[in-house]
Amino acid sequence: MYPNEFRYTKEHEWIRVEGGEALVGITDFAQKQLGDIIYVELPEVGKKLGVHDSLGTIESVKSVSDVFAPVAGEVIAVNGELGQAADLVNKDPHGKGWIVRLRLSDAAAAGSLMSASEYEKYLEGLEA
């Protein structure tokens, strides 16, 4: 169900590493838990993030939730489409609903995150 080329956090963020850069978003599980997303607060390009720093918030009809950086890096791009269509996170969380692109401080750090199969097992534990 979850893309194998991604890595995952226990806070339900995903990361797809592409060389020294990575896309970051929230998982399908997270967007389902949030419900209809109405606003995504994006960080400034150039912002430096440490592991688990808040990179912005997602507002849904149910709540407002922080999105955390799965790895350290510098924000080099944000998904500007989310300003007009925050529901892209609901419709395509692992594709067009990405949130930021980071220049990684340490590309190997993503290897410590969960694989798709590990994340799916983690979710089974939450739903039990």
Which pLDDT tens digit goes with each residue over 47-89?
999 999 999 999 999 899 999 999 999 999 999 999 999 999 9
Which pLDDT tens digit goes with each residue over 82-97?
999 999 999 999 999 9
Q: What is the pTM of this model?
A: 0.94
Three-class SS string for 12-81?
CEEEEEECCEEEEEECHHHHHHHCCEEEEECCCCCCEECCCCEEEEEEECCCEEEEECCCCEEEEEECHH
Answer for the pair 92, 105: CB distance below 8 angstroms, yes or no.
Answer: no
Mean pLDDT of the chain: 95
Q: How confident is the model at residue 42 (pLDDT cuts 50, 70, 90)?
A: very high
Q: How confident is the model at residue 128 (pLDDT cuts 50, 70, 90)?
A: low
User: What is the separation of C-alpha 99 from the centre of its chain, rounded to a whole number of angstroms?
Assistant: 6
Three-class SS string for 44-63?
CCCCEECCCCEEEEEEECCC
Tell me what percent of the residues of the chain surpass a pLDDT of 70: 99
What's the CATH number for 7-127? 2.40.50.100
Q: In the chain, what are the domain boundaries?
A: 7-127
What are the DSSP calls for 88-109, one per residue?
Answer: HHHH-TTTTT--EEEEES-GGG
Give me the pLDDT at residue 89, please: 97
H or E segment and range at residue 117 = helix 116-127
Higher pLDDT, 7 or 3: 7
Q: How confident is the model at residue 12 (pLDDT cuts 50, 70, 90)?
A: very high
Give me the pLDDT at residue 19, please: 87
Q: How confident is the model at residue 126 (pLDDT cuts 50, 70, 90)?
A: confident
